[in-house]
Chain A
């Protein structure tokens, strides 16, 4: 065989197997990542006690620093995200050093004490699951980063495998053989959103680049890695702590200083070595309009209040990297574009799911031959992931409404509901007779989404949450339709063939 003629089958093999081994993780990454386009809306729904309110950012910042000063002796740093009218809560983080752990609290801007809104991880849980899989951050990020790299290989080999990219836009043969239909479905969702799939995979790797590929920084900066971020224009020059204590200005003082320096209210403040004589306060402003994920920052002396530094202008290459980062996060996307991103992400999840199912359909034994161990394992994992993960997300939302507001460790119970429902559906899918496995698992997954709607209407019942409830209803409908389709016996598909049609 010539090199050229061997290349395509080799790439087909690579596509099949690279896609299979990471498919289950990728489905979870796509599903939770797609949901994260609406992270803020999810968080608002999950904290119904917070509603629009007037806030005083300067007073809130000073109260937040008073709260933070009580939390830890000699902290390495704080981050204070200022409250806004739409999000009237002060978000604070504190840490000893950059290796973590990073402690977190939500404060009532009016009192500076932890908010009385129900305890929940809210949209942040799905968002962090998207790249950390609820594992210790370093582990989760390496696993997701590795899977993303394999996905990039699967995309490239999939494109090579494919002869007729354009014609496949218009090809869907749901009434042909099952394998044909699943291949068409896989091609349709894979090819239609191909630019998105390539973009989201590569930009996802770029967001993790400092961890996945530190060797460029190491070779050029050796042990002085932080200098890279300063020279690249990603953060302003900082300074080392002096080792003697000194009383800093109240944090609220920096709100007006930052407003004067940056022309608008900052999003938040990073305080380095609070309480030290050389402590700094860095105002972090919102990304300017455009694609780049590049926050302007101004650093002040925490004790005197004098401006010390700003981030340098980013060069072309760094700017390109921040644009890729920004494309992944899609903070720039207004509602209409956001829907498009959401649909593309859903098509990514559908491409992974249809590819996983296609693998089993293409290997189904003919007639009464028994299925091998590998095939049975993949089937069980497919059902457990494709029906189980949505069930978990639905249970996470349902738990948010049903668990008592004052329950001890409430946020962890919501996460337990997520994994419990996922596990339940996966086990039911594995134990059910094969013909009933898909319909039962998908039907079960629809239940929490259906139940969320009355639970929200009865227990909270606010008009501003109706769009969220409608989205839940739409997801439930989708899962029920999928369950119905999975219930049709294969013979029903064959009967719908036009008379005399020849199976391709």
Chain B
């Protein structure tokens, strides 16, 4: 792709070293940090919850496995947010995954109250 670098991309190291970072770059970076922290944690939490109720393992094992993997999920989400071409794309991608996970969790009964034992 030969298009110009979008203004809301992460500033290049050279640009940030020269201090030539405008307010647009700053707010784009701030947006990514917030998206990575909040969105990344939301996706990791949803994935952990879904894995805990949907993995074909005994209940406690499913929880252990999903919780173990949660930090890798969050790391992947954060890398995706910073690697995406623009903040909009990052938000769209992460939001899409979050919606899919939430629907899956709802279908798997993760939001329903517990069945009395």
Q: Determine whether the beta carbon of A206 is less than 8 Å from that of B62.
A: no
Min distance, Cβ A151 to any Cβ of chain B, angstroms = 10
B56 at the interface (CB under 8 A from A): no
Q: Determine whether the beta carbon of A320 is less than 8 Å from that of B68.
A: yes
Q: Determine whether the beta carbon of B5 is less than 8 Å from that of A216.
A: no
CB-based A-B contact count at 8 angstroms: 130
Q: Determine whether the beta carbon of A363 is less than 8 Å from that of B17.
A: yes
Min distance, Cβ A43 to any Cβ of chain B, angstroms = 31
Q: Determine whether the beta carbon of A149 is less than 8 Å from that of B74.
A: yes
Q: Determine whether the beta carbon of A16 is less than 8 Å from that of B13.
A: yes
Interface size on B, residues (CB 8 A): 45
CA distance A44 to B14 in the complex (A): 52
**In-complex Cβ contact of B10 among A14, A153, A316, A321 (8 A):** A14
Q: Determine whether the beta carbon of A14 is less than 8 Å from that of B67.
A: no
A317 at the interface (CB under 8 A from B): yes
Min distance, Cβ B112 to any Cβ of chain A, angstroms = 9
**In-complex Cβ contact of B67 among A1, A233, A321 (8 A):** A321
User: Given that A10-B82, A219-B52, A220-B52 are known contacts, is A213 also in contact with B61, CB under 8 Å in the complex?
Assistant: no
Min distance, Cβ B21 to any Cβ of chain A, angstroms = 11
Most central of A220, A223, A363 by chain B CB within 10 Å: A220
The closest CB in chain A to the CB of B14 belongs to A9
Residues of A within 8 A of B13 (CB): 9, 12-13, 16
A428 at the interface (CB under 8 A from B): no
Residues of B within 8 A of A372 (CB): 19
Q: B1-25 CB contact bits vs A (8 Å, 1 = yes)?
A: 1000100011111001101000000
Residues of B within 8 A of A216 (CB): 48-49, 51-52, 62-63, 66-67, 70
The closest CB in chain B to the CB of A152 belongs to B75
- Which A residues from 2 to 58 make CB contacts under 8 A with B? 2-3, 6-7, 9-14, 16
Stretch at the interface among A224-232, A437-445, A458-466: A224-232
Q: Determine whether the beta carbon of A315 is less than 8 Å from that of B57.
A: yes
14 extra A-B contacts, CB within 8 A, seeds A215-B48, A216-B52, A219-B110: A6-B9, A10-B9, A13-B11, A13-B13, A14-B82, A156-B79, A209-B68, A213-B48, A216-B49, A216-B62, A216-B66, A219-B48, A221-B114, A232-B61
19 contacts between A and B (CB under 8 A): A2-B1, A3-B85, A6-B83, A10-B9, A10-B83, A11-B82, A202-B72, A209-B71, A213-B67, A213-B71, A216-B70, A219-B48, A221-B114, A223-B114, A224-B114, A232-B61, A315-B58, A321-B67, A363-B17
